[in-house]
Amino acid sequence: MWFQSSRSQPSRKRWLRSALTALAFVVAGGVAACPICLNDRAFTLGQKLDAADRAILAVPVAGEGRFRIAEVVKGEAAVNDILTGLVNGIGATASQDGKPLLLVSFGPVGRWSSLGAIGSEYAGWLRQLTAFGHAGPSRPMPAWPQVAEKSSEFAAAEWRERVALVVPYLEDPEPLVAEIAYGEFARAPYDAQRSVRAQLTAMQIADWIADPKLASRRATYTLLLGIVGTSDDAARLEQRIEAALASHDTTDLAALLAADLELRGPSRVGWIETAYFEDRSRTMPEIEAALLALSVHGSADAKVPRQRVIEAYRFFMRERKPMAGFVAPQLTDWEYWDATPDFVALLKENAIPDPASHFAVLTYLNRSPHLAAKAALESLADKSQ
């Protein structure tokens, strides 16, 4: 996710792009996914299930190259009906160990696609999972693949229910179930993730973190360790952070810092300010990781109050003027407008050379209710004519 300082320009653009995308989701009324866990995922299997018009479990009909519906998960279909033709190029031999295939279809007459093999005993769980978003306060679901462009489709309360439903299936022996569960947990807002404390143990999560086969999930599970861990876990996390600080290693650094903040609380924010924002030896990826960890906590506004994160952002703006635009989208998201004079002053100083950062600041000022913001924008418009 992060690169060394020699590649800081692409890294900076990626950070701003992610931040501006998150801002767009909030403006549209969504609940932001946890950016540490979501990373660069285009979409999850759970999102495909959400967006599908129909979802079924189907078994091959021996020697006929067709499928018979064994379970209806979602939409209009009937058990024992026969599907004719191939399933997006997958023949009847695709099921494994006699398990049905989980098939989805987009549109009323869309072609079936396979998400993989899964035991019939999980049909009820899948029905519970696909029931979200079809009742209650959530807004209508978008059509796939547009769903991949959204960070969340559910209200905060629904997300907590959804997370509670998938957490028992994290690293389930059934591979497809484990993948669905992990994907849904990873794309949930951090506030919803924090609600699972009673469902998991620190020992479970530590085992997952240590498992090399789960390396791609380590950042998420590190974040989760911060939620359910103990003071001993905090001490071990801080040893890893100190080692990373000494070597400038950014592997899972945002997750480590966010987990540490969850376990230690607001007292660690000042340390991040000194170690990452004030220290001029820090690389761009290290700074990004620190900002990302803070943004997760600021959005949750729980163990570390949002106001303390905002104070850290203001400190960052003073210490790293050319990068001040990095925090503009988040401050816009939170409708915190007291930074308006600071951003106006930075524009007057031409202190923000990067176009993406500059645009993020202009977006902030455009939404700010302060008169100084309007005056600054009008002045910029006059100069551009």
- What is the tens place of the pLDDT at every residue in 55-85? 999 998 876 668 899 999 999 899 999 986 5
Round to whole Å and give the CA distance between 173 and 176: 9
Phi and psi for 123 in degrees, rounded to 5? -60, -40
- Let me know: does 301 contact 336? Beta carbons within 8 Å: no
Share the mean pLDDT of the chain: 85
Digit-coded pLDDT (tens) for 188-239: 999 999 999 889 999 999 999 999 999 999 999 999 999 999 999 999 999 9
- Let me know: does 257 contact 225? Beta carbons within 8 Å: no
Q: Look at residue 61 in the predicted model and tell me its pLDDT.
A: 83
How confident is the model over 95-108, as a mean pLDDT?
A: 82
Tokens for 16, please give them.
């701003």
DSSP designation for 276: I
- Let me know: does 219 contact 255? Beta carbons within 8 Å: yes
How confident is the model over 315-321, as a mean pLDDT?
A: 97
Q: For residue 322, how many C-alpha atoms fall within 13 Å in the half-sphere facing its CB?
A: 6
C-alpha distances out from residue 28 to 23, 32, 155, Å: 9, 11, 13
> Does pLDDT of 142 surpass 50?
no
Q: Look at residue 22 in the predicted model and tell me its pLDDT.
A: 44
Q: For residue 345, how many C-alpha atoms fall within 13 Å in the half-sphere facing its CB?
A: 9
- Cα 21 to chain centroid, rounded: 12
DSSP line for 98-118: TPPEEEEE-STTPPEEEEEE-
Round to whole Å and give the CA distance between 250 and 96: 39
Round to whole Å and give the CA distance between 115 and 101: 7
> Does pLDDT of 12 surpass 60?
no
- DSSP H or E segment with residue 59: strand 54-61
Round to whole Å and give the CA distance between 34 and 151: 8
Q: Report which of 216, 130, 209, 205 is spatially closest to residue 165, judged by C-alpha positions.
A: 130
DSSP designation for 90: B
Tokens for 243, please give them.
């080692």
- Let me know: does 258 contact 235? Beta carbons within 8 Å: no
Within 8 A by CB and 6+ apart from 62, the residues are: none
Round to whole Å and give the CA distance between 13 and 357: 8
> Beta partners for 83?
67
Count of beta carbons in the 10 Å neighbourhood of residue 215 = 11
Round to whole Å and give the CA distance between 311 and 161: 32
Tokens for 98, please give them.
């006699």
Q: Look at residue 40 in the predicted model and tell me its pLDDT.
A: 55
- DSSP H or E segment with residue 87: none
Q: Look at residue 97 in the predicted model and tell me its pLDDT.
A: 72
How confident is the model over 295-306, as a mean pLDDT?
A: 96
Angle (CA) 39-333-50 rounded to 5° is 50
Q: Peptide bond before 305: cis, by omega within 30 degrees of 0? A: no
133 pLDDT band, cuts 50/70/90, is low
Digit-coded pLDDT (tens) for 264-288: 999 999 999 999 999 999 999 999 9
Round to whole Å and give the CA distance between 68 and 81: 6
> Does pLDDT of 5 surpass 80?
no
> Does pLDDT of 10 surpass 60?
no
Stretch among 42-56, 81-95, 113-127, 345-359 having the lowest mean pLDDT:
81-95
